[in-house]
Amino acid sequence: MKNILLIISLCFIAFSCETSKKEEIVKNEALVMYVPSEMALLMNEMYVFNEKTKEKIIKNEDLGEFSANFLNIHSAILTNPTDRNGEFEGFSQAFLLNQQAVFSEKITDKKEQFNVMINSCVACHKTTCVGPIPKIKKLLIP
Query: What Å distances lie between residue 93 and 56, 63, 126, CA to CA?
Result: 24, 21, 16
Q: Helix, strand or coil for residue 76?
A: coil
**Near ligand HEC by CB under 6 A: residue from 25, 45, 47, 116:** 47
Q: Is 119 in the site for ligand HEC (CB under 6 A)?
A: no
* Distance of alpha carbon 79 from alpha carbon 39, whole angstroms: 7
**Near ligand HEC by CB under 6 A: residue from 11, 46, 57, 102:** 46
Q: How far is the CB of 2 from ligand HEC (least distance, A)?
A: 25
Q: Is 88 in the site for ligand HEC (CB under 6 A)?
A: yes
**Residue closer to ligand HEC (CB basis): 61 or 85:** 85
Asked if 120 and 98 count as a contact pair (C-beta separation under 8 A), the reply is yes
Other beta carbons within 10 Å of 106:
5
Candidates 43, 71, 68, 53; CA nearest to 129 is 43
Residues within the interface to ligand HEC (CB under 6 A): 16-17, 20, 36-37, 39-40, 43-44, 46-47, 50, 78-79, 83, 88, 91-92, 95, 120-121, 124-125, 128-129, 132, 135-136
